[in-house]
Amino acid sequence: MTRHAVVAAAAASMALSLTACGGETGSGDSADKGSSTKIGLLLPENKTSRYEALDRPKFEEAVRGTCLDCEIVYNNAVSDIVKQKQQFDQLIAGGVRVIALDPVDATKAAGWVKEAKAKNKGLKIVAYDRAIAGADAYVSHDNTKVGELQGEALIDALGDKASDASIVMINGDEKDPNAGQFKEGAHNALNGKVGKIAYEASGEWDPKIAGEKMSAAISNLGKSKIDAVYSANDGMAGGIIATLDDAGIKRIPVGGQDAEKAAIQRIIAGTQTFTVYKSPLELAPKAAEVAVDLLMDLPLRAKSEVNGIPSHLLDPVIVDRTNIQSTVISEGIYTADDLCTDELAEKCAELGIK
């Protein structure tokens, strides 16, 4: 029996059960008030374009593709922890049984999850892209591997200069456990392979703050003492590259992650060296699949565990000038028309982007 058939059979069985019981309302434990058809999706911020442009639509599409009766309730916290807590509570009050949660602050979210699950025994939580203690499942990319790929790509870009290179590192928000894993992976790759990490700070996932930290690094080190920049994501890389350009520092390796449209265009233009592509064609649909399985009380088919939580860890891919066509274009994330503006048309042709 295919998974679609299993989900359909489970949905039909649940519907009959609800009808026999006179619907979803009733007395007793608040777990009985959860909706059999609602799945919540809570994303953390909108400064990183992938969340609204890729994660949300791919998640919603995947849920609807396997569960015709499912309703998706969506909110974005716009980097506000208090707002996300309110959104989380509203979903539960609205009868949502399964929530895919990408937290602004994973530590605080673990407290919400513990409290909510104690009061609502049927509540299920999918930790989306960021690990949350107490979640029922975790779906992400291998975040340490992401950092390692970033560090290795920076070393490759430096070539023979790597062993003497002076590196600036602008990391993600320290409240985000993923940021710590990216940083750990990057240090695994860079330590002992480059001259030194000359300056390191958090850009807090904010392009403006990242640009300010880059400006501080330039002031502290001097323009001629910076050979490459590690940026934990593409949004911050944009702010960093603008600051480097304003300071007259050009053509040094700068890399990020997320394969944002603007980052791919900078790679085509030659101002950004690489990004890490974490395919939403894998992440969002896998999280949606897990959410539907939890909703239907089907067994999870997790391939691993992280801190005792059934987990799916997906493989990231480096994207640079050599493989734009075979990654983000071939997978349909962007078209050549999306990326190749009039000013980039010649460079796109040189790279075989079509």
Q: List the CATH number of the domain containing 128.
A: 3.40.50.2300
**Backbone torsions φ then ψ of 313, nearest 5 degrees:** -110, 115
User: Distance between CA 324 and CA 206 in Å, rounded?
Assistant: 25
Residue 177: predicted pLDDT: 86
Residue 155 lies inside a defined structural domain of this protein? yes
Residues 168 and 274 in one domain: yes
Query: In angstroms, what is the C-alpha Rg of the chain?
Result: 22
Residues 147 and 266 in one domain: yes
Total tally of structural domains belonging to the chain: 2
User: Distance between CA 313 and CA 215 in Å, rounded?
Assistant: 35
Residues 206 and 85 in one domain: no
Residue 34: predicted pLDDT: 57
User: Distance between CA 243 and CA 247 in Å, rounded?
Assistant: 6
Residue 63 lies inside a defined structural domain of this protein? yes
Q: Is 230 helix (H, G, I), strand (E, B) or coil?
A: strand
Task: Classify residue 217 by burial, with Cβ atoms within 10 Å: 0-12, 13-18, 19+.
Answer: buried
Residues 244 and 156 in one domain: yes
Instruction: Encode pLDDT of 185-241 as tens digits.
Output: 999 999 999 999 999 999 999 999 999 999 999 999 999 999 999 999 999 999 999
Residues 303 and 230 in one domain: no
Kindly state the average pLDDT of the residues 66-86.
Answer: 96
User: Distance between CA 271 and CA 238 in Å, rounded?
Assistant: 9
User: Distance between CA 259 and CA 276 in Å, rounded?
Assistant: 6
Distance of CA 102 to the CA centre of its chain: 8
Residue 161 half-sphere exposure toward CB, CA atoms < 13 A = 12
Is 68:127 a contact under the CB 8 Å cutoff? no
Residues 95 and 46 in one domain: yes
Residue 329 lies inside a defined structural domain of this protein? no
Kindly state the average pLDDT of the residues 137-145.
Answer: 95
Q: How far is CA 127 from CA 217, 253, 291, in A?
A: 35, 33, 10
Q: Is pLDDT of 123 > 50?
A: yes
Residues 82 and 30 in one domain: yes
Instruction: Encode pLDDT of 268-297 as tens digits.
Output: 999 999 999 998 889 999 999 999 999 999
Residue 199 structural domain: 143-278
Residue 46 lies inside a defined structural domain of this protein? yes
Q: Report pTM.
A: 0.78
Residues 262 and 178 in one domain: yes
Residues 248 and 307 in one domain: no
Residues 17 and 119 in one domain: yes
